[in-house]
Every structure is written in structure tokens, then in C-alpha cells.
């Protein structure tokens, strides 16, 4: 009797009928290559096997890159949809009071942030004490000072950063929980002092300097134009 194992007729027929199924199965091909190497002996270098291993490694890397690109594309699409929905909600406001209410509630929920603050610079006395929901008044120059801090230099339109604690004058009672923020500097038009929209999150990785700012820059541009409409 032969000592070589024989395939069952049904298995053999299935392989002959659909050989592509074997070639496409990485685990089966890996087992076949390993069996072939054992049959060749330890003293024979199988260049084809080495080449296959390298090609398999390259394929695995390409698949990982492909998955990463797809994941990034979906994340970017989700972010775009969020910004568009937030903008549409702001444009629905029939009054400035409703605009501010939507900003602190519905828009904050859409953007998945934990706090929103809108600061406007004013030369009037008492700046910094007047509050209307999310809206606060500050003295001229305070916005650039908040954005640049000790580093100086010009303030960027969009600043993303982690924070140890949020500013209580901006975020109120929730300030101690804020761990990252997006600061959007607002150009409210000629002969007007600037404004600042701040989005705060309890997640320290929600806003980081490594993230792209294109979507938030677009949101800032639309928000500026909406604010100018209410300030006329």
C-alpha cells in the first residue's frame, strides 16, 4: 500500500473545478509553500518561495495603506457633512437671539463639541462682564492675546490646540473639563473689531495642531458673513 496520502475524490474534483479558490486563499497557499519547502530539504534555497514571501509582505502593506486611505476618506466625508449641517442650521435663524441659541445647542451637537463661546471685541466700558448665553464681550486686543499667548506673532484664522484647562471666563462652569479647543478668528468687516468663535471639547485629541484646517476655515468664512448680517 502506498504511504502517500491521497485526496478524496470530492476534494480533488473541487480543486480542479475551482483552482482560483486555492490561489486566492492566503492560508492555503502558505501551507502549500511550506509543504513544498519541507519536501525540498533544508539545503536547497527556494528563490521562488523567498520572492513570494516578499510579494506577500508588499501586498499586506498595500492592503493596510488602502484601508487607511479609505478610513481617512470616510472621516473627511463625515466631517464635511457635519460642517454643512451646522452651516444650514445657522442660516435658518430668524433673529440674532435664535442664532446664538442654535450656536450653543444644535450647532454644538452637530459638531460634537462640549462647549461653544463667541467673543466680540468692544471699546465700551465693562467689556468682559457682559454675557448673553454663548456671547461675551472683551476689550480690544484680547482676542489676539488669547490666540498667540506667550509666543507672539500674528494670530492665525484657525488655531487647534490641546489645553490643560479651559478658560473659566470663556467656558464657565465646564471650563475645568475642556481639554482641547478650536479657535476661529472672525473678520467682521471694515471698521469693526474682530471676533472669536471657540469650540471646546473634553477630548484632548478632538482638536490638535496636526489636523487639517480647511473645513474649519470654510466654516469660519460662512460664520463671518452670517455675523456681518446681524451686525448691520
Domain definitions of the chain by residue range: 95-231
Tell me what pLDDT residue 42 has. 57
C-alpha cell at 200: 471646546
Tell me what pLDDT residue 199 has. 96
- For 95-231, which CATH class? alpha beta
Tell me what pLDDT residue 38 has. 66
In tens, the pLDDT along 76-135 reads: 777 889 999 999 999 999 999 999 999 999 999 999 999 999 999 988 755 655 667 899
Let me know: does 52 contact 59? Beta carbons within 8 Å.
no
Tell me what pLDDT residue 115 has. 94
Tell me what pLDDT residue 12 has. 80
In this prediction, the residues of the chain whose per-residue pLDDT falls under 50 are 1-2
Tell me what pLDDT residue 2 has. 46
Tell me what pLDDT residue 1 has. 42
Amino acid at each position: 500500500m502506498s504511504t502517500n496520502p491521497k485526496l478524496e475524490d470530492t476534494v480533488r474534483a473541487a480543486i480542479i473545478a475551482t483552482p482560483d479558490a486555492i490561489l486566492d486563499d492566503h492560508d492555503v497557499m502558505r501551507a502549500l509553500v511550506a509543504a513544498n519547502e519541507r519536501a525540498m530539504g533544508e539545503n536547497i534555497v527556494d528563490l521562488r518561495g523567498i520572492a513570494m514571501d516578499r510579494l506577500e509582505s508588499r501586498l499586506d502593506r498595500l492592503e493596510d495603506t488602502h484601508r487607511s486611505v479609505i478610513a481617512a476618506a470616510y472621516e473627511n466625508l463625515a466631517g464635511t457633512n457635519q460642517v454643512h449641517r451646522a452651516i444650514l442650521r445657522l442660516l435658518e435663524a430668524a433673529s440674532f437671539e435664535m442664532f446664538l441659541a442654535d450656536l450653543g445647542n444644535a450647532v454644538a451637537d452637530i459638531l460634537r463639541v462640549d462647549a461653544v463661546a463667541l467673543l466680540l471685541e468692544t471699546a465700551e466700558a465693562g467689556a468682559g462682564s457682559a454675557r448673553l448665553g454663548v456671547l461675551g464681550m472683551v476689550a480690544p486686543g484680547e482676542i489676539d492675546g488669547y490666540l498667540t499667548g506667550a509666543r507672539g506673532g500674528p494670530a492665525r484664522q484657525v488655531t487647534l490646540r490641546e489645553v490643560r484647562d479651559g478658560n473659566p471666563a470663556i467656558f464657565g462652569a465646564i471650563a475645568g473639563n475642556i481639554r482641547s479647543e478650536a479657535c476661529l478668528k472672525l473678520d467682521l468687516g471694515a471698521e469693526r473689531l474682530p471676533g472669536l468663535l471657540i469650540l471646546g471639547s473634553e477630548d484632548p485629541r478632538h482638536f490638535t495642531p496636526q489636523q487639517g484646517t480647511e473645513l474649519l476655515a470654510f466654516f469660519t468664512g460662512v460664520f463671518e458673513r452670517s455675523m456681518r448680517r446681524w451686525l448691520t
